[in-house]
Structure 1
């Protein structure tokens, strides 16, 4: 069993959530609570989001200001005890992991080929609804086993291509994990290794997926010419599944950043037509599958970079449609990170359409995310949303100012 399957989730801290609930019940903004307890509103926001754990004095002042009658202090005390217990558990876990790794390296019995493939498939699906950190740990563990088998020639001749394919998929999972954790350079290194494995395995489907992922990483870095080059390097992909649709939508994202509305819409429309005539399925689900919801999400995320108007209206529609599909999906098919970003893309489009109230409502699920779900993409896209609030004629709105404060508390790098 993989480390991911065996690991238990860490219980989230309750103090920040309780503080926010009481503040909202009082109808106070972060700045209003700040004026009463003499802590900076940005710090209070980070406490609410779980980025900071305050000292007891903060808890006592907040408890008094919010008329909590000791409830906040009790919650703070419980969190403090859990933090100490988690630290002790972490030290024990690190020691036990080192011992387990020694045992693994000395073990004679290997995971069966079928079991290794099944674990990779489970991990690819689990990624959709899990924070990237635990997935990264599990993928490293599985890759270690696969590499050991490769290096020690512990495979039959006809299994070599499948082993390279398994390692390539694990490298793809590592690339996604690293990118969601904000390390684009490591993500690109993992992607290059995945591409080399796809070539050794002779698997065009994985190769096209990797090129799309390299384009995604380059877009994260703001290098749109290189992102487009990765897409165009796949000259004529006719493999199974949704790979061609993903490449078309990635191309649309690139062209939108060059303000090429015609090419952006053409690529999205071609992908929509291709979806209607899709006759084969992807070899692996999870992050290796380009679902209908994901395709609509790509549409929304492309169109928000154009000039607004009808493009913004379509962006809002496609983001909403993606969210609606994901909300109806079973947990194993629901891409929570992309769903959160779809809310942000809808909010951005609504802001382009000058509807501040609707934009604030659309972005609320993003700002309510727990800390472990705040992937790097969210911080990047919140930066643009906050900048639009500053420069889009909303500066005189108290609601816009409170929203900027909350965004800054949620993701400090996104603030002014």
Structure 2
């Protein structure tokens, strides 16, 4: 018997309505209904409260623990199967892969990386990077191809950095980014060096070290020169994120305005992960300004995040970045909350409240947690929508 089935049986035996059970547990009636019907997963705290309220003497909580073990085992098994199959497919193809095909493989990974589970992308990038390194060590490349191979290894190291960051391993991510920087230096590739500087700044921001992140972004800006790519726009947006987190509203807005100026001079962009689309630029603006005190900053953040979502949702499937699109929903919802619009926040974040565990990457968990804390602030005390949305976010995150 599953926990939802046991809950229904115990509640019926006790003769309690959902409203009465809600009063005993201090959890919302609609939330308990979703738990009882299996639409939402109970957190540890909810399971403990239900066990106590129904005098189940630990039996209900034991069922929750068993269900959690099964859920985690099944999710891990599914990830392992998918990852192993993809790696085996890659390995089978390497024997027939010429150098140009290898470069194409790197480009393909860059395009699909933001819509593929990070563990799977890490495995695939690792396999392809091993092959590229083997060819460097064995001298299996055209006379003028060494620099291109180092760029390929650097980009694959960059994919690994993003994947490990999504998996919540920033220290490993930084090591991969440093490897990418070394490859950029060996290849003499300024575009890759600028991209790596932005990625290292991103990792430092994830770790909350905004002074370091700001130094890394500004160091990258000194390398952009007069290039016509998107590197400068990306780095100025990274600078804006740092300044916003350091409380500098004027500086953050100025950096975002400079990024828009840089966008006007862009003449070329790399594919996927190594590019910086207009949607991604709007996304960065939204993710920057939500760290300030609301007001006009929140209004600009809301406009930017909403524009990013609209662009991604209207794009062909291959050009969408599902991870970033989901995060943009959180940024827009956060801006709504900062502006006191609880209904807007709830409506915007609702598509994310049924994400399966394998899609709850570290960025999503961190940003959803902040939104839940905003909705739980004294300002929203007594607001049912705020309470239910915050509780649904905590339920999503699990114990």
User: When the two structures are superposed, what TM-score results if normalisation uses the length of structure 1?
Assistant: 0.77
Specify whether residues 150 and 377 from structure 1 end up closer, same or farther in structure 2 by C-alpha distance, changes over 3 A only.
Answer: same
Aligned to 2:256: 268
- Please show how residues 38-57 of structure 1 align to structure 2 within 5 Å: 41-42=42-43
Corresponding residue to 2:310 among 321, 324, 328: 324
Aligned to 1:31: 32
Specify whether residues 335 and 87 from structure 1 end up closer, same or farther in structure 2 by C-alpha distance, changes over 3 A only.
Answer: closer
- C-alpha distance in 1, partners of 2:385/2:333? 15
- C-alpha distance in 2, partners of 1:386/1:93? 32
Once the two structures are TM-superposed, the CA of residue 401 in structure 1 deviates from its matched residue by 2.1
Aligned to 1:166: 152
More contact order relative to length (CA 8 Å, sep ≥ 6)? 1
Unaligned runs of at least 5 residues, structure 1: 1-14, 17-22, 47-56, 63-75
Aligned to 1:313: 299
Aligned to 1:247: 235
- Please show how residues 338-357 of structure 1 align to structure 2 within 5 Å: 338-357=324-343
Once the two structures are TM-superposed, the CA of residue 33 in structure 1 deviates from its matched residue by 5.2
> Does the CA contact (< 8 Å) of 1:205 and 1:240 recur in 2?
no
Deviations 1:169-203 (A, max 9, x none): 00000000000111101100000000000010001
- C-alpha distance in 1, partners of 2:208/2:360? 20
Specify whether residues 133 and 89 from structure 1 end up closer, same or farther in structure 2 by C-alpha distance, changes over 3 A only.
Answer: closer
Aligned-residue CA RMSD (Å): 3.6
- C-alpha distance in 1, partners of 2:86/2:153? 26
Specify whether residues 273 and 32 from structure 1 end up closer, same or farther in structure 2 by C-alpha distance, changes over 3 A only.
Answer: same
- C-alpha distance in 1, partners of 2:105/2:88? 22
User: When the two structures are superposed, what TM-score results if normalisation uses the length of structure 2?
Assistant: 0.80
Once the two structures are TM-superposed, the CA of residue 405 in structure 1 deviates from its matched residue by 1.7
Deviations 1:311-361 (A, max 9, x none): 111111111011000011111111111110111000000100011111111
Unaligned runs of at least 5 residues, structure 2: 5-17, 19-27, 48-58
Aligned to 2:106: 120
Corresponding residue to 1:366 among 330, 352, 359: 352
- C-alpha distance in 2, partners of 1:45/1:343? 27
Aligned to 1:377: 363
- C-alpha distance in 1, partners of 2:83/2:164? 23
- C-alpha distance in 2, partners of 1:330/1:99? 26
- Please show how residues 231-310 of structure 1 align to structure 2 within 5 Å: 231-234=217-220, 235-237=222-224, 238-278=226-266, 280-282=267-269, 284-310=270-296
- C-alpha distance in 2, partners of 1:323/1:392? 30
Deviations 1:97-156 (A, max 9, x none): 78996x89xx9x562110000011011101132221211111011001011111222223
Specify whether residues 241 and 409 from structure 1 end up closer, same or farther in structure 2 by C-alpha distance, changes over 3 A only.
Answer: same
Matched position secondary structure for 1:29: helix
Once the two structures are TM-superposed, the CA of residue 398 in structure 1 deviates from its matched residue by 2.5
Once the two structures are TM-superposed, the CA of residue 264 in structure 1 deviates from its matched residue by 0.5
Matched position secondary structure for 2:144: helix
> Does the CA contact (< 8 Å) of 2:86 and 2:120 recur in 1?
no
Matched position secondary structure for 1:156: coil
Specify whether residues 36 and 44 from structure 1 end up closer, same or farther in structure 2 by C-alpha distance, changes over 3 A only.
Answer: farther
Once the two structures are TM-superposed, the CA of residue 409 in structure 1 deviates from its matched residue by 1.4
Q: Does 1:156 align with 2:142?
A: yes
> Does the CA contact (< 8 Å) of 1:42 and 1:405 recur in 2?
no
- C-alpha distance in 2, partners of 1:200/1:110? 27
Q: Number of aligned pairs?
A: 355
> Does the CA contact (< 8 Å) of 1:194 and 1:210 recur in 2?
yes
Once the two structures are TM-superposed, the CA of residue 367 in structure 1 deviates from its matched residue by 1.5
Once the two structures are TM-superposed, the CA of residue 43 in structure 1 deviates from its matched residue by 5.2
Aligned to 1:179: 165
- C-alpha distance in 1, partners of 2:192/2:316? 25
Deviations 1:222-270 (A, max 9, x none): 0001101111112141334100000000000000011111111111111
Specify whether residues 93 and 384 from structure 1 end up closer, same or farther in structure 2 by C-alpha distance, changes over 3 A only.
Answer: closer
- Please show how residues 189-204 of structure 1 align to structure 2 within 5 Å: 189-204=175-190
Once the two structures are TM-superposed, the CA of residue 95 in structure 1 deviates from its matched residue by 11
- C-alpha distance in 1, partners of 2:380/2:318? 40
Specify whether residues 289 and 345 from structure 1 end up closer, same or farther in structure 2 by C-alpha distance, changes over 3 A only.
Answer: same
